[in-house]
A = this chain, B = another copy of it.
Amino acid sequence: MQELTSMRLTTQRQIILEELSKVTSHPTANEVYDMVRRRLPRIGLGTVYRNLELMAETGMILKLEVGGTQKRFDATVAPHYHVRCLECGKVDDIKMQVQHNINETAAQASQYQILGHHIEFTGLCSDCATSTHQASIN
């Protein structure tokens, strides 16, 4: 694991964190790469992966393992839940209260030492809900 103290403040790291903090879209590593490249055209994709991983390990950011193929990243580290649109794959925050209690319920219902949970809602974003509705009319 990476020590927070021995982590250099490189330009790449700063800009990756800055760009991730600008958005609420839970971008994939590749999307972060595209964002960062506008400011640092010579950055490597590996550097983006490496640093997102490192920042997630040290708790500076969150690595979301939501449905879909790619991992997504989130600068909002406070516990919260997500929705994913089944149509377009967009991921948004759900601003509802965190269900702290269910960890205990789960602990009682299993042999695991429960350390946390995450909830992913699935559905249709407003854009896709209307266009899907349109399609069913046509």
Interface residue ranges, A against B (CB under 8 Å): 65-68, 81, 83, 85-86, 92, 94-96, 99, 102-103, 105-107, 109-126, 129
Q: Give the complex CA separation of A66 and B120 in angstroms.
A: 10
Q: A106 CB to closest chain B CB, in angstroms?
A: 5
6 closest Cβ contacts across the A-B interface?
Answer: A65-B67, A114-B123, A112-B123, A115-B123, A96-B109, A113-B124
Q: Give the complex CA separation of A112 and B96 in angstroms.
A: 13
Q: Which residues of B contact A111 (CB under 8 A)?
A: 125-126
Q: Which residues of B contact A121 (CB under 8 A)?
A: 103, 106, 110, 112, 114, 116-117
Q: Which residues of B contact A119 (CB under 8 A)?
A: 102, 117-119
Q: Give the complex CA separation of A116 and B119 in angstroms.
A: 10
Instruction: Give 9 new A-B contacts, CB below 8 A, not counting A99-B102, A111-B125, A119-B119.
Output: A65-B68, A83-B112, A92-B112, A94-B109, A103-B121, A107-B123, A113-B123, A113-B129, A118-B122
